[in-house]
Amino acid sequence: MEYRPLGRTGVQVSPLCLGAMMFGPWGNKDTPDSIRIIHHAIDAGINFIDTADVYSGGASEEIVGQALEGRRDDVFLATKFFMPMSEDPNRRGGSRRWIIREVEDSLRRLNTDYIDLYQVHRPSPNTDVEETLSALSDLVRHGKVRYIGSSSYSGSQIVEAQWASRERNLERFVTEQPPYSILVRGIEEDILPTVQRHGMGTLTYSPLSGGWLSGRWRQDSASAPTSSARPSARFDMSSPANQRKLDIVEELARLAEQTGLTLIELAIAFVINHPGVTAAIVGPRTMDQLESYLPAADITLSIDVLDRIDELVAPGVTVNPDDNSYGTHELTPGAR
């Protein structure tokens, strides 16, 4: 597996990042099996692991911490904060009070003295970005965090954060974590070029678009998923946008077969073939799923294949706008 520079940090990471969201009650409840999956990923060359405090209420971080016992130095470890950790309104968000408190909980759960990449899980419309950056800068100075990053920021929010860091002499976000797949290409219009201009690394999540590009939902089996965790608008098979996605998946499956790839390999290879993408976060629940992801790291798609994908989904287009899980809140009803 060939490693890539993480923006301008000098760190080298694998093109596949092991996402740990499915380790714990949200996915794989068998802790020893989850640990085996993590170990197999590391043995296969993945040196990048991403989790978050909120995943399975902290259980994901605990499982990752157990798996890395004796192997901590083998991986670049990333986690996130921001999402609610209880009903307490102060146990969430990007405030200094919460960041300083929550990093200690993540360090304890991860069983480590430091976090390589500490990321804001979502932008906050109610917290000054300078407050968030100031608190994170203190964590870097104290040695608890090596680098800081953002997730699901809009282009203007990325620029604002970079400006605030430079203007106030604060640590800057060195990475951005947006959604990206063949079906969700909105970040090509603004996020990717903005991140590239600022020399940031890009860690994209959901390369299989929530399972749409795994082959799980096809025209002959278009039953909606039953998980309450999945937003209904994104999986309502009666909506015209999702019907269009089903048509595209059929065409992509044919293209993959013609190319000698699985649909999963085609989908993940598409993401990591983009020169603006550092790594694609893959989140297996089982060992078989991990095995199906690994070959994509070594696949280079031809221009003809990329052109055909562009014909099916134009650059910068997200087929179903409900899949755009990033950006600002100006168009929410409350903001309007």
Q: Given the structure tokens 């090509």, which residue do they identify?
A: 188
Residue pair 173/200 in contact by the 8 Å Cβ criterion: yes
**Whole-number Cα distances in Å, 123 to 30, 132, 133, 151:** 33, 10, 12, 7
According to the 3-state scheme, what is the secondary structure of 204-242? EECCCHHHHHHCCCCHHHCCCCCCCCCCHHHHCCCCHHH
According to DSSP, residue 179 is labeled B
How big is the chain, counted in residues? 336
DSSP element (H, E) containing 119 = strand 115-120
From 3, 55, 118, 153, the catalytic residue: 55
Task: Give 335's Cβ-side CA count (13 Å radius).
Answer: 7
Report yes or no: 194 and 158 within 8 Å, Cβ to Cβ.
yes
For residue 62, what is the enclosing H or E element? helix 59-67
3 part of the active site: no
Rounded Cα distance between 31 and 171, Å, is 36
Task: Using alpha carbons, list the distances in angstroms from residue 86 to 20, 53, 62.
Answer: 21, 12, 18
**Which residues are designated catalytic?**
55
